[in-house]
Amino acid sequence: MRRRYGIGEKEFQELLAEQGGVCAICDGEDPQHLDHDHRTGWVRGILCFNCNGGLGQFRDSPARLARAITYLRGTTWQRVLIHPGVFQMCSPTRGRPPSQRS
């Protein structure tokens, strides 16, 4: 770790203690992955396997993550009252109703 990221085990444990011993993103217990900015090499925090992999899948791009959040918020199906006692499932921003077979 020291050669690659500039911190040793002592600094790792101090950073983990500053985070309360949990993943810096999801608060999951026992995070093991030292996260760093791939452009600068600067250490950002300690993450669990899933959060560290998730950032990697989004290529550390805040714009990609923001679009993913917008996508998740915009495609949540909701029940909408269209007539007394009659509801229709729809997406608030896009998409089509779920199939009748769902």
Q: What is the pLDDT of residues 11-26, one digit of tens each?
A: 999 999 999 999 999 9
Q: What pLDDT was estimated at residue 32? A: 96
CA-nearest of 77, 78, 81, 24 to 54 is 24
Distance CA 81, CA 89 (A): 9
Secondary structure (3-state) at 15? helix
What is the per-residue pLDDT across 35-89, written as a single tens digit (0 to 9) for each? Answer: 998 888 899 999 999 999 999 999 999 999 999 988 887 766 778 888 898 988 8
pLDDT at 2: 85
**Does residue 37 lie within any of the structural domains?**
yes
Question: Quick check: is 100 in a domain?
Answer: no
Q: Quick check: is 55 in a domain?
A: yes
Instruction: Write down the pLDDT at residue 52.
Output: 96
Q: What is the DSSP letter of 34?
A: E
Within a domain: residue 42? yes
Q: Give the model's pLDDT for residue 95.
A: 56
* CATH code for the domain of 14: 3.40.1800.10
Q: Looking at the domain assignment, is residue 71 inside a domain?
A: no
> Whole domain around residue 27: which residue ranges?
2-64
pLDDT at 27 over 60: yes
